[in-house]
Amino acid sequence: YDKYADPKKEVCFNHDIRKDVEKVYDIIDVEDLGEKTNFCRCWRSKKWPFCDGSHNAHNKACGDNVASLIIQKKQT
């Protein structure tokens, strides 16, 4: 990857997910979440909106450092 590339340059995040719709959004009922759910924030997951680990290849390819958003029940 080009470690000198400008990280603030505007780029298109979404390459493949539902490109036929105006905006990609998802609605998930809180009650349907399990103990722990990983949501994708890199836009590379094949299981969108859930993380499938594709962020690792993305990070390696471009020097990024993104990962999932983890929603979990409070640990008591």
Q: Which residues are catalytic?
A: 23
* Residue (37 or 53) nearer to ligand FES, CB: 53
Please provide the DSSP assignment of 16-65 as one string. Answer: STTTTSSS------GGG--SEEEEPSSS--TTTTB--STHHHHHHHH---
**How many residues of this chain interact with ligand FES, rule: CB under 6 A?**
12
The one among 17, 37, 59, 67 contacting ligand FES by CB under 6 A = 67
52 touches ligand FES (CB under 6 A) = yes
Binding site for ligand FES (CB under 6 A): 40-42, 44-45, 51-55, 67-68
